[in-house]
Structure 1
């Protein structure tokens, strides 16, 4: 664990962290290119219409106004959450945005990835570490955030990907999968077809073999509330499904030395890792199985705030092969 922290901290130390200050502050970007007066999306679209059109259909464009996020925001701290999901926003209040709010209030815009910092002249590449690698919030006795933990990662996507690259020797960058051909739609959890393509399910009598394809990080990754369930049912509509396995993280508030203040952290991690084949035993008599990707925690789903169709994505479903008849021993 100590070596892992040193590796990830070293990675973060070299990343342009001020570009995306992990929700602790609003981004401060430099001047727009080519003498343009600002970094407005419409100005970018003047020269890059195809890229902006793809972005408009991405999860980044609606990272703040997305329905799942809006429900989560009713139970969380709006300032920190909004400054991650809309890093150039000025309105940090929870709830619907006023009519006519600019794209910067709705999500992550062009400047979030491409603008130089302050008055720097160079425009660095997309700083994935700033967005997808950060610790759990550490709170004081009054419930105020004092820092982000360095002993537990709320999101560890960049660390997962870095370890995979070192182990596999693969030299691809995040953009090789998430921006194929320069696609600014970016893929991820708001594109169900990308998740389906990443999952490999091999049914066999009495079990499922589950793995991932061309995924260089844990599955699921990113938001710590995401998890995957393997469910069985007696009928194809899954009106009464039974969960037989889960892939995700279990969280607790506890001490995490050397951090002096207790905070939320992961005490168990059952997510799929690259190259792993997970064998899931199925109960006798199960006729159908499916795999469901959950965008929010089980507790949040049980709260009734999220309609099932909003927070659950069915990635795979099929009738199960029948078990071979058992051979009876002759007397």
Structure 2
């Protein structure tokens, strides 16, 4: 699907400086596309670096719209990368969760909208085909016209409309209507307090009946290797390890992926990021990111 085209760049430091300036101007959008496609800050950074190297080597005199060109290259590389990533994730130890990113400085992460950024949404996007995901991300997060998306993903405009429509319907069928950001933060705070105290009744009051708790340890740290499902199981599971897990833990409020989250530190080091997905029924999902390799982005920001 990838087409890098001619590689015969004009020579001279002035031209390269101009190329760098153009790239820097659109880099936030490129990273925003790559991250939403891959759900990994590390992989997104690597992909954007690859785009920069290709931009350096390209015959830029043939490009009439650098922003459109660079977005196209980024999306096509992301589609290819996602296909490879999915094969690796099939052998991932335990539940796979998207890598959280700090969004305090950039709440929309390079997008005109904050869409397709929340961890629960990124988890749902994993169920779409790579091309379907690309069409949805470009349309919902970046408001690209259908015709331009068609050029990027090399599908007819009518086909793109179908891809986006299918993606919207799939996500709508899998997700309840979210609550306000204030309510999400309030329930996260209540959850941390109840989990820390091992308060079974308090947990049962705020968890939805069909709540699911996902723990991503990647096989590197101790974490549940299967999702814990249902209010009774999740509440009892949390109470069972409360007196061990929370010893010496400092909790810091933060914002990741555009929603309230808690950084959990022990001995000054971030060892987990915790967030919850909330609807009118209560907390629907509890997401524990504990894989050290996927805490780099938030640890550096913290």
Determine which structure has greater relative contact order: mean sequence separation of CA pairs < 8 Å that are 6+ residues apart, divided by chain length. Answer: 2
Normalising to structure 2: TM-score of the pair? 0.30
Q: As a proportion of its length, which structure holds more helix?
A: 2
Structure with larger Rg: 1
